[in-house]
Structure 1
Amino acid sequence: MALTSIIAIYALFWVMSAFVLLPFGIKTHDEAGLPKVPGQADSAPANFRPGRVLIRATIIAVVLTTLWVLNYTYGWIGVDAINIFEKPEHLKR
C-alpha cells in the first residue's frame, strides 16, 4: 500500500473520529450551573476543549489506521468474509 493511501485513510479516520468525539464530555451552561450570556444558545458548550478532542481523535485514528493497514497486509477480513448477498455454504442444501 502506498504511503499516500495510508495518509488519506488516516485523514478519513481522523475526521470521522473527531466528529464522533465532539459531543462527549461537553456540558451546557445549565448543566454546569454557570450563568448564560444574553442571546446565547441554550445548547452552547460551557467547557469545550478542542485540544482534548484533537488528541483523542489522533489516538483513535492511529489505532484504526494501523488495524486497516495490517488487515490489508495480512488479509484477516476479506470481501468473501463480508459477502451479505450470498447464502453461507451450510444453508445452500
Structure 2
Amino acid sequence: MSLVFALAIYFIIWWIVLFAMLPIGVRTTEEAGEKSSPGFAESAPHRPRLLPKMLATTVVSAIVFAGVYAVIVHKVIKIDDIPFFPRYEAVQESR
C-alpha cells in the first residue's frame, strides 16, 4: 500500500467517522435551559464541542484504519473467507 493510498483511505475513514460523531452529546439551547438568541435556528447546537469530537474522531479513525490496513496488506480476511460472496469456478478455454 503506497503512502498516498493510505492517506486517502484514512481521510475517507476520518470524514465518515466525523459525521457519525457529530450528533453525539449535542443539545439545543432549549434543552440546555437557556433562551434562544434571535437569528439562530432553534435546532442549532448550544455548544457543539467540535475540538473534542475531532480528537475522538482521529482516535477512532486510527483504530478503524488499522483494521483496514490489516485486511488489505496482511490479508487477515480473504475474499474466500466471506460466506455470502459467490464462488466462481475458473473457466477453461476450449479449443
- TM-score, normalized by the shorter chain, greater than 0.5: yes
Aligned residues between the structures:
87
Consecutive unaligned residues of structure 2, counting only runs of 5 or more, are 88-95
TM-score w.r.t. the length of structure 2 is 0.81
Consecutive unaligned residues of structure 1, counting only runs of 5 or more, are 88-93
Where does residue 71 of structure 1 map in the other structure? 71
Cα distance in structure 2, aligned partners of 1:48 and 1:84: 41
Structure with the bigger RCO (C-alpha within 8 Å, sep 6+) is: 1
Within the alignment, does 1:47 sit opposite 2:54 as a pair? Answer: no
Alignment of 1:22-61 (within 5 A): 22-61=22-61
Q: CA deviation at 1:83?
A: 5.1
Corresponding residue SS for 1:26: coil
Deviates more, 1:63-72 or 1:73-82: 73-82
Deviations 1:17-53 (A, max 9, x none): 1011000011001111011012421210001111011
Corresponding residue SS for 1:68: helix
- Identity between Structure 1 and Structure 2 (%): 30
Cα distance in structure 1, aligned partners of 2:68 and 2:40: 42
Deviations 1:28-81 (A, max 9, x none): 011110110124212100011110111011111111111111222221212222
Deviates more, 1:45-54 or 1:68-77: 68-77
TM-score w.r.t. the length of structure 1 is 0.83
Which has the larger Rg? 2
